[in-house]
Amino acid sequence: MNINTQQLSLEIANQTILKNINLSFKQGEITCIVGPSGGGKSSLLRSLNRIDSDKNYSYSGDITLGTSSIFSKEYSLEQLRKHIGMVFQKPCVFPFSISKNILFGVKHHQRMTATQAEQLVVAKLKQVALYDEVSDRLDQSALELSIGQQQRLCLARTLAVDPQVLLLDEPTSALDPYSTSALENFVLDFKKQGTVVFVTHNIAQAKRIADHVVFLCNGEVIESGSTQHMFGCSATAQTQQYLNTETCDC
Amino acid sequence: MNKVYHYIICFLCWLALAISLVLVLGVITILVVKGIGAINVSFITQPATNFGKEGGVLYQIIGSLLMVSVAFLLSFPIAIAAALYKSEYLKDEKWQHRSDMLLHILNGIPSIVFGVFALLFFINICGAYISWWLGSLILAIMMLPILTFSSYFYLQRLSPEIRESCLALGLTKGQFIRSFLLKRSFAGAVSGSFLGLARILGETAPIMWVATIFAGAGIPSSWNEPVATLATHILILAQQANHPLAVANGWGASLILISLVFILAAIGFAMRRKQLQVQ
């Protein structure tokens, strides 16, 4: 499913965070959002599944998932978040066993037999390349896992709900190279069936995995385009400067 | 100069701590020394006779435990609901502040005021009997703030990441409350309730006119009967201070009361510490 933002603006406590964002996140593509800290990357990502809906944020413009607005009555917040899964920067496993962590979300959406649950746990752990590392301790506390393993478990937990869109907010910033590589491989695999929006500070990572890159600074889209275009012949000096030096004067 | 000031402040803090400890230890030591002689198996297992000068404190122990147990059962669900409401639904800062203030005021109301209120409202106006359930109700109201704050404190310590992760999985607020917050508020209220029970166990003023009588009370066979409690029994014995047997039994009953308070408080603190370690 495609996600489109139309003239999306966001204000928090009278401060403009996002200004007139017009973007399209397409199915079958990985879109990486890059930009300096405080530029609005995470705010944009968090707008896409309305995770801050209970806060007094002021939105204007629209976001559509497929053909319907995510602000319309067609999507309840729960349905929306079921369709659009999210993985955060800091892994947050629940203080339960590994199996229970994976089943936690999905059990609130559908009933399943013990066999189905068991199969789902194995399938999702395999999908994030974690099964071989934890297969002998699925009933042990998830808190005992390393940070990298915890992040992959969070990803598996999100996948268990079967989202069509995956939002990832700097998911590899605290991970070791092995876990980073495992997560990147998974994302490259997932894009065949869904849409991926990936916020990262790591320019090399964006170059490795993105099909489409968005450069966001001070709440504005400075430039967006295919990875080849952005890294090869970007139109603005600001983009070239940021992608080459990771510094920005905007 | 700063160093001297620092040492003076440290000394004063240590002095304040030492005074507090000496006072508490002093009271406990006196109670143990004076009361231990009165305590034996028959003192705990036999009812009082001759206005407490003879016999034991069996009915008083049963009465006290009955009243505080029912008080706990009454206030526990209300405290959890109040804490959940404050934590999840009361978003207006003004009302948050007001609810905090009201709970603090409720916590600070002198116990005699509860007693007078219960006497005037329930007995004089509503026509209720002097009964143990009325005492439980008043004690439940008294322990409500401490349970609510304890439960709310645990809810506030839940990391925002867990909340976000739950919502990001498509859980409704109700599902999130059932899955995480209810258990957590329960744990908070349980540890707080031992501290609350310890507080109300020794209360005399709020119950002496509405739930207890000074002599003749046994194990209640219905709702509308008074009970004897340790606190009111000690009051009766203290009023007979010219009789050596009454004084000895008074010390014994006091030691039992303070032991129960100490045990409940110790359990409460241990549970709170364990919960904090888990977090």
* Confidence (pLDDT) at B193: 79
Tens of pLDDT, residue by residue over B66-122, are: 999 999 999 999 999 999 999 888 888 899 999 999 999 999 999 899 999 999 999
pLDDT of B61 strictly over 70: yes
pLDDT in tens, A129-180: 899 999 899 999 999 999 989 999 999 999 999 999 999 999 888 788 888 8
- The answer on pLDDT for B195 being more than 60 is yes
Reply yes or no on whether the pLDDT at B131 is more than 60.
Answer: yes
Check CB contact under 8 Å for A88 and B167: no
Nearest to B133 by CA among B226, B200, B213: B226
Smallest CA–CA distance from B166 into chain A, residue: A105
A108/B169 CB distance under 8 A: yes
Query: Nearest-CA distance from B178 to chain A in Å?
Result: 11
Closest C-alpha to A196, from A225, A167, A175, A169: A167
Q: Does A165 touch chain B (CB under 8 A)?
A: no
pLDDT of residue B277: 60
Averaged over B236-246, what is the pLDDT? 86
Q: CA-nearest residue of chain B to A167?
A: B168
What's the farthest any 2 CA atoms get from each other in chain B? Answer: 72
Torsion over CA: B272, B206, B119, B51 (sign): positive
Give the C-alpha separation, B133 to B220, whole Å.
10
Residues of A in contact with B168 (CB under 8 A): 49, 51, 81, 85-86, 88, 158
pLDDT of amino acid B278:
56
- The secondary structure of chain A, three-state, reads CCEEEEEEEEEECCEEEEEEEEEEECCCCEEEEECCCCCCHHHHHHHHCCCCCCCCCEEEEEEEECCEECCCCCCCHHHHHHHEEEECCCCCCCCCEHHHHHHHHHCCCCCCCHHHHHHHHHHHHHHCCCHHHHHHHCCCEHHHCCHHHHHHHHHHHHHHCCCCEEEEECCCCCCCHHHHHHHHHHHHHHCCCCEEEEECCCHHHHHHHCCEEEEEECCEEEEEEEHHHHHHHCCCHHHHHHHHHCCCCC
Chain A residues in contact with B179 by the CB 8 A cut-off are: 104, 108
Query: Which residues contact residue B137 at a Cβ distance below 8 angstroms, ignoring those fewer than 6 apart?
Result: B71, B74, B118, B122
Nearest to A104 among B161, B169, B278 (CB): B169
Closest Cβ–Cβ partner in B91, B162, B164 for A51: B164
Contact B44, B229 (CB under 8 A): no
Is the ipTM value over 0.90, yes or no?
A: no
Q: State the pLDDT at residue B9.
A: 93
CA-closest candidate to residue B29, choices B204, B255, B241:
B255
pTM greater than the 0.80 cutoff: no
Every domain of chain B and the residues it spans:
55-278
Residue A52 corresponds to which amino acid? D
The maximal CA–CA distance of chain A, rounded, in angstroms, is 57
> Which CATH architecture fits B55-278?
Orthogonal Bundle (1.10)
A36-53 pLDDT per residue, tens: 888 889 999 999 988 888
Cβ contact (<8 Å) for B159 and A92? yes
pLDDT in tens, A65-103: 888 888 888 788 888 899 999 999 889 999 889 999 999
Segment B160-187, tens digit of pLDDT? 888 899 999 999 888 888 888 887 777 7
Rounded mean pLDDT of A104-123? 91
Q: Is the pLDDT of residue B279 over 60?
A: no
- List pLDDT tens digits, range A212-244: 999 998 888 888 888 888 888 777 887 887 887
